[in-house]
Structure 1
Amino acid sequence: MRALSPDALTGTWATVLLPIGADDRIDWERLSEQVHELVAAGVDGVYTNGSSGEFWAQSEEEFDRLSSMVADVCERAGVPFQIGAAHPSPQTALGRLRRARDLSPGAIQVILPDWFAPSDQETLAFLRRMADEAAPVPLVLYNPPHAKRVLTAPGLSRLLDSVPETVGVKVADGDQTWYDAMAPVSGRVALFVPGHHLATGYGRGAAGAYSNVACLNPRAAVWWWAQITTDQAAAEAVEIRLRSFLDTEVLPLQRRYGYCNAALDKLLAAIGAWTATGTRMRWPYQGVPEADLRRLRAVARDRLPEFTT
């Protein structure tokens, strides 16, 4: 696969979710079906082991099998893919990155060390080493709001000065003032924002999303991205409904019961009913119960008919 550049890294990218059986094992048959469906949906790319991929809960053998499966399916279909080499341990992450590099992905996603928040010097040392080891494959920095160290616009700019092999960043976005502050960053790398913010984000300089909307329904997310790039007003009207559904129906489950982000993304996939992945999380994390799924699927069919089947 050709290495991605900032200009080529754009659009709706879909994450791979882990189907977990009652025995707490990965169901590889269901996983293969899911990856093939993502490719068939026409997403701009497929990636592994973001937060919703439960990267922290995989053995190294499972990481390698998952990475190889995605690389093989995407290569055959000509679909760009990224491998997430994330792990809370920088040593384990480095080993994952070395093996991911051999699969020739378009980019390798990394997170910052996640037990102690790294200092500026430690952040640079980590990313500089990861970039050197990944070459010629570029990096994407996955820096969501729950990271131990969340970089600001000035910090990201300094990072890009020292690690120009970084072609993209995944961050939480903000209002117009936030986008104005991020302009020096978005002018140098692909800025990826939350999927349900993509219409307004694209209008303010975002390049794409590692998309929770693709979790809900990848084919509908592809349709919406086409609308975003051709009919901004209509796309923003869809975004209002997406945000309302998530803010009033899905996120309250997290606030009330503490479900993690990955559990909510699996819930979205189950609501969209495009995959048999299910809502079960790997121990000790909890998935959203069936009763909530049934209730929310009915709500989504009423409020987001384009994204449900």
Structure 2
Amino acid sequence: MTNTPSVSSIVLVVDDSPESLGMLNAALNEAGLTVLVALSGQQALSITERITPDIVLMDAIMPGMDGFETCEKLKQQLPMTPVIFMTGLTDVEHVVKGFEVGGVDYVTKPIIAEEVMARIKVHTQNARMALSAQTALDHAGQYVICIEHSGTIAWATPHVHQLVTSSPDEESTVWQRITDQLLPWLGKAPQHTPLAINEFEMPMQAQFGGEHQPGQSLVRLVAAEATRSPDVLQDKLPITKRESEVLYWVSFGKTNWEIAQILSMSPRTVNKHLEQLFKKIDVDNRTAAAAISIRILEGGDALPA
């Protein structure tokens, strides 16, 4: 099969139908994969306590513990393991619910083996890449959090866990407060402005690290640098808030087009702000303006004597 994963994978198939299990078991074995089978959600959880699958194919509707509840519990054990739902339902509500509980994809019954193999290949490769990235960050000593867009912390590097455990408050409470701060910020173009995190003895700032994989964002925590913000420029110079934001990004070497994208304005408007800036701080070009901005952001005086 052309869609066979390049690296042998362990696939856990959870379905209360012996017929479905038999068909999938045969197709996946033929593709060279190691297949584990479970007839119920509870049996699936028991298996994952002993063996970590690379991916899970989960029947959505089962008696007792259904696939949605099973997925939620499984994700607590194995947050990095992708879950693909199998459903005969066409109701959008059930498809959405599958994603809400942590599923990464779904296929409809009757199952088409080639389609399932293609999805297994994509999601196992993505999961391995994500795990490699997390491992690299762990070993680099980075303070990084991976947060689901639903509000769940997918994982965090050991250094973040150390920060959380050093707090006098309950760990669950600290994590909840961090999540409550990050979610609204992530919805407001977080790549533009750091977020102050005051949960720890050492003041920290959250910086947007990009999309980790669909539905997940990376957030990097760094030691807060109180002097480095557009507000400081506005305090030190006779300029408006918007002008201070433009000048802030000029100091980072951003072009007018890049600043326009960051601040949601046109390049023409950025240029107009710069013209006013040059007059107010008595400089002729952006290089001189950037030099003043950098001096202020590094804690120096606004203007040379």
TM-based fold match above 0.5? no
Of structures 1 and 2, the larger Rg is shown by: 2
Q: Structure 2 length as normaliser, TM-score?
A: 0.25
Q: Structure 1 length as normaliser, TM-score?
A: 0.25
Higher strand share: 2
Higher relative contact order (CA 8 A, sep 6+): 1
Higher helix share: 1
